[in-house]
């Protein structure tokens, strides 16, 4: 399903827009639909790009757990664009694609360890409105991950909530990034 662009995509025809588009194509093979939407407000675009560069440097949390948490949050919200791009990134990072595809159905799948399940349950609990995080969840994850990784996990889920909610409100849908993967994009609940 193509993006519906509730927030219209701005024309990417200025010299600066062409540079941004070329950089996105080099990085991802195409321009993510998010870029022309954010191009409507360049200060927001610059802030988002700078923030995402900083977020990408966080390294206290195991990258597999981070991917599962982010994708569980995106699936819980129902952001097909975020899942599509998440599959692409997971593929790029060398994660087990069969396992990644199971994230939207992690409760029914036997592919995940207990810790991975705890991380995805936490991500879903944080994503719920209102959040349903329990003291027991935090205590268990703190013991398993340590405080630094738990802080990173918590912030990554919060970041994905922001991403997914913006993308859904903007009308963005799966763009085919996951086509590089061997498995088709899983249906969002």
**Cβ atoms 120, 69 nearer than 8 A:** yes
Its pTM stands at 0.92
Q: Structural domain boundaries of the chain?
A: 15-55, 63-180
- For 63-180, CATH number? 1.20.1290.10
Residue whose C-alpha is closest to residue 119's, from 86, 152, 163: 152
User: Which residues fall within 8 angstroms of residue 21, CB to CB, at 6 or more apart?
Assistant: 12, 31, 35
Binned at pLDDT 50, 70 and 90, residue 188 comes out as: very low
Q: What is the mean pLDDT of residues 155-166?
A: 98
For helices 135-145 and 147-170, the axis angle rounded to 10 degrees is 120
Give the pLDDT score at 97: 85
Angle 45-48-54 (CA atoms, 0-180°, nearest 5)? 140
Cα distance between residue 53 and residue 138, in whole Å: 27
């Amino acid at each position: 399903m193509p993006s519906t662009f509730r927030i219209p995509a701005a024309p990417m025809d200025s010299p600066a827009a062409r540079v941004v588009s070329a950089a996105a194509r080099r990085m991802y093979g195409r321009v993510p639909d998010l870029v022309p939407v954010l191009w409507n407000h360049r200060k927001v675009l610059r802030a988002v790009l700078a923030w995402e560069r900083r977020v990408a440097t966080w390294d206290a949390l195991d990258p597999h757990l981070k991917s599962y948490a982010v994708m569980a949050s995106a699936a819980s919200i129902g952001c097909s664009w975020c899942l599509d791009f998440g599959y692409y990134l997971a593929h790029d990072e060398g994660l087990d694609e069969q396992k990644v595809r199971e994230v939207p159905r992690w409760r029914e799948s036997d592919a995940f360890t207990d810790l991975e399940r705890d991380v995805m349950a936490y991500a879903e609990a944080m994503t719920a409105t209102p959040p349903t995080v329990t003291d027991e969840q935090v205590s268990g994850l703190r013991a398993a991950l340590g405080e630094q990784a738990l802080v990173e996990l918590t912030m990554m889920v919060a970041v994905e909530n922001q991403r997914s909610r913006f993308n859904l409100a903007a009308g963005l849908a799966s763009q085919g990034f996951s086509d590089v993967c061997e498995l088709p994009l899983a249906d969002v609940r």
